[in-house]
Amino acid sequence: MSSDIEYTINIQGVTDLANNVMEPYETTFTGISVTPLEITEVTPLTFNSIKILFNQDVSQESAENINNYSIDNNISVTAASQHTFDKNK
């Protein structure tokens, strides 16, 4: 299923163990992304700050978890914040 496409599902004729038939049911939902998450850009902003751009929106919880980042040469990641409007930054 593709993201940003609305799908409709119709369910009918399903019975429980006592042979009770459910009423027909219809609902819509939007597909999810099947594109692997990738970094598309890393840009130094200041002496101690970088910008990381992903190819799709990421959750705030994972974007701001400093344990998800590491930098070589004994550099510590002490903070991470997600851009307020662009959830892929």
Average pLDDT of 56-77?
A: 92
What is the predicted pLDDT for the residue at 83?
82
42 close to 62: Cβ distance less than 8 angstroms: no
Q: 87: Cβ–Cβ under 8 A, 6 or more apart, which residues?
A: 57, 58, 60, 63
- Residue 1 to residue 73: CA distance in whole angstroms: 42
pLDDT digits (tens, 9 = 90+) for 2-47: 767 899 999 999 998 999 999 999 999 988 777 888 999 999 999 8
Task: Decide if pLDDT at 57 tops 60.
Answer: yes
Task: Decide if pLDDT at 50 tops 60.
Answer: yes
Q: Is 61 helix (H, G, I), strand (E, B) or coil?
A: helix
Domain positions in the chain are: 1-34, 35-89
- Residue 50 to residue 70: CA distance in whole angstroms: 12
Q: What predicted TM-score, i.e. pTM, was given to this entire model? A: 0.59
Q: Where does the chain have alpha helices with state H?
A: 60-63
**Hey, what are 75's tokens?**
């550099």
